[in-house]
Amino acid sequence: MNTAKDEVKTILDSLPDDCSLEDVQYHLYVVEKINKGISRAEMEGTRSQSEVEEKFRKWTLK
């Protein structure tokens, strides 16, 4: 598992040299949200495609 510093280095290396600080912040934000989502899915589980479709179907029929 990479450390936070390693992840930041990887992100910085993947961005163009002329990126803005806002670009860096955005990418850090996205990576953090993805990591939190993965952790949550591992802890709480996930739903199947058909379960999600059924839930959306109920919302749209109201």
What is the three-class DSSP state of 51?
A: helix
pLDDT in tens, 33-53: 999 999 999 999 999 999 999
- % of the chain residues with pLDDT over 90: 85
To the question of pTM greater than 0.85 for the whole model, the response is no
In the DSSP assignment, the letter for residue 15 is S
CA distances from 11 to 7, 19, 39, 45 (A): 6, 11, 20, 28
Q: Which residue has the higher pLDDT, 42 or 60?
A: 42
- Compute the average pLDDT of residues 8-36: 96
Confidence at residue 50, expressed as pLDDT on a 0 to 100 scale: 95
Tokens of 30: 């996205």
* Residue 62: pLDDT band with limits 50, 70, 90: low
Map out the domains of the chain as residue ranges: 4-60
